[in-house]
Amino acid sequence: MTYVDESRPAVQQPEPAPVSLKDVVSAYVGLTKPRVIELLLLTTVPVMFFAERGVPALGLVAATVVGGALSAGSASAYNCVYDRDIDEQMRRTRRRALPRHVVTPTSALVFATVLMVVSTVVLALWVNPLSAVLSVAANAFYVFGYTMLLKRRTTQNIVWGGIAGCFPALIGWTAVTGELSWVPIVLFAVVFFWTPPHTWALALRYREDYANVDVPMLPVVKPAAEVGRQIVLYSWVMVATSLLLWPVAGTGFVYPVVAAVLGGVFLVQAHKMWARARGTEDLSVIQPMRLFHHSNLYLSLLFVAVALDPLLF
């Protein structure tokens, strides 16, 4: 039997601190995952420069950026609503708005829907209907394809789910030209093959989190050496695809030179991580975040080269 000393005064639980307006605004902004938006826009605007073969109309760029940012923010907010159960258990995501109960699921759902509607209107009225349709398709694929269908069911979740993150290349091109061609499809493919090395490096760092919530990311179900091997394979295909833009689009020499140098450095980093992963599961030895950060730099500089090539030659 447990003895309880009733003579002691009850311990007063501290009242939760009031939530300020700044906290609420910050929480809603956080639902949109601004860093993801930043990366997506980085693959949109340079493609617009490339499609224009110069500087596109600034009003068109602004409308595409606003519409694209709102659409990406909407998809992220929907993702936060659906994944709030596992976000609350993972170290990397437990400080998000829904796990901290700063925003209710209903409010977040309404917020995501409003962003989606506004983004579609902006793109349809001030860009063109094709770009608006592509934006809605990307949003729907991320929410229904990746978040709801693939993420918790297969190790190939981010391989196919990553398709949603490839759409900005198509949207940037159609915003200027009003039609699709092989050029944006090549850039779409570059992002497609870039996504697994980028995401698996991050997932390797947080594999315990994913394991604890039963999300079968590749690093959860396969040893680090196999993850490293898969990263190297996708990296080689990614670099080869990036060089394909040269003959397909008829670029100047700036883009292929930059793509070759960036690709070579990336492959060296991928092979080094694979070598470190062979024979150990110690993340302090493998250092997956080194490749993750390098992957961000690679994609950023590659698309900067896409924008600069037609301006320089």
Both tokens assigned to 239: 């670099």
Q: Kindly report each contact of residues 102-111 with a partner whose C-beta sits within 8 Å and lies 24 or more positions away, as own/partner.
A: 102/19, 102/23, 102/24, 102/27, 103/24, 103/27, 103/28, 103/31, 105/81, 108/31, 108/77, 108/80, 108/81, 109/77, 109/78, 109/81, 111/28, 111/31, 111/77
Residue 23 has pLDDT above 80, yes or no: no
Per the CB < 8 A criterion, the answer to whether 167 and 188 are in contact is yes
Both tokens assigned to 191: 């992002």
Both tokens assigned to 166: 């490839």
- Count CB-CB contacts under 10 A for residue 32: 21
| Alpha carbon distance 53, 50 (integer Å) | 5
pLDDT tens-place string over residues 195-226: 999 999 999 999 999 999 999 999 999 999 99
The residues, ordered by sequence, that sit 6+ positions from 238 with a Cβ below 8 Å of its Cβ are 190, 193, 194, 197, 263, 266
| Alpha carbon distance 259, 20 (integer Å) | 47
The predicted structure's pLDDT at residue 10: 43
Band (19; pLDDT cuts 50, 70, 90):
low
Both tokens assigned to 291: 């490749």
Helices and strands: H and E segment counts in the chain: 16, 0
> What angle do the packed helices 21-31 and 105-126 form, to 10 degrees?
60
pLDDT tens-place string over residues 57-86: 999 999 999 999 999 999 999 999 999 999
pLDDT tens-place string over residues 273-283: 999 999 899 99
Range in 23-27, 54-58, 255-259, 295-299 with the lowest mean pLDDT: 23-27
DSSP 162: G
Domain ranges, ordered by start, for the chain: 21-178, 181-313
**What CATH code is assigned to 21-178?**
1.10.357.140
- Count CB-CB contacts under 10 A for residue 29: 12
CA neighbor of 127 nearest in space, from 62, 70, 45, 188: 62
Per the CB < 8 A criterion, the answer to whether 136 and 183 are in contact is no
